[in-house]
Amino acid sequence: MTDGISHGLSDGMTASSGGHRRSPVPVVLASASSARRATLAAAGVDARVAVSSVDEEDTVRRGQQRYDDLSSADIALLLARAKCEDVAAQIESDDPPAGMDADCLVLGCDSVLELDGRVHGKPGSPDVALARWRSMRGSQGVLHTGHWLIDVRAPEAGGTGATLGAVASTAVWFANIPDDELEAYVATGEPLNVAGAFTIDGLGGPFVDRLEGDPHNVVGVSLPVVRELLLELGLRWYDVRTR
């Protein structure tokens, strides 16, 4: 899938390369994920949240019709782009979300787990989560996170109108956990609404043996990828850092 896809936020006052102080460029996260928001916040970016109205299954179906063959990474990027574009359109509309700065950057992310050639998102129910983990345990998968960034700032605010994206992929090795531990974990409810049915920063952490790649990516947003996208807009991390 190549159409429109390329390889993309800071303190009430931040330092610019010239040593001056200026307000950060606001970032809006097009995701309801508290883990993504917390990851950005830990790196100094206090992103506002605006949730998209994207129907994921319909978006993937239409994408497959258009592009015919989508890889797991393509699906992650397709969904990230759709969510980012939906929120950007909300912000630029006549009725934008309350409290949103129109001169901002919109970041959309979406994660999927690739296991044995199949794509897995959020399981949604205990039965699906149990079945998923029974196939995952003792094996290795790849967590793909698509990132899409849209610059909706006005030209006088430094806006470029750019829209760009990239995918980060991290290999994950899962522990061969017994049924009783698996059932106890699923009973917590945590794996039901996270991509791949696991976390590394929560209750699922003990069941991940090792990673190869960016660990932030498994949480849901790759900070190095976001930095690279910002660089393509001519921005530095300090331009979006809020502290």
Q: Which tens digits make up the pLDDT trace of 90-101?
A: 999 888 877 777
Is 147 a domain residue? Answer: yes
Catalytic residue among 46, 110, 214, 239: 110
Interval 106-162: pLDDT, tens: 999 999 999 988 899 899 999 999 999 999 999 999 999 999 999 999 999 999 999
Residue at 6 is within a domain: no
Find how far residue 34's CA is from the centre of its chain. 11
Please say if 180 is a catalytic residue: no
CA-wise closest residue to 76 among 199, 167, 142, 194: 167
| Residue 187 structure tokens | 């009973």
Q: How far apart are CA 113 and CA 218, in angstroms?
A: 9
Q: What is the largest distance, in Å, between two alpha-carbon atoms of the chain?
A: 59
Q: What CATH code is carried by the domain that includes residue 117?
A: 3.90.950.10
Q: How many structural domains are present in the chain?
A: 1
pLDDT for 2 beyond 70: no
- In this predicted structure, what is the pLDDT of residue 160? 93
CB distance 143 to 113 below 8 Å: yes
Range of the domain at 87: 14-239
**Percentage of the residues of the chain whose pLDDT score is greater than 90:** 78
Contact indicator for 160, 104 with CB cutoff of 8 Å: no
Kindly state whether residue 75 falls inside one of the protein's structural domains: yes
Residue 43 lies in a domain: yes
Question: What is the identity of the amino acid at 168?
Answer: A
Summarize the confidence of residues 210-220 as an average pLDDT. 96
Q: Is residue 9 part of a domain?
A: no
68 has pLDDT over 70: yes
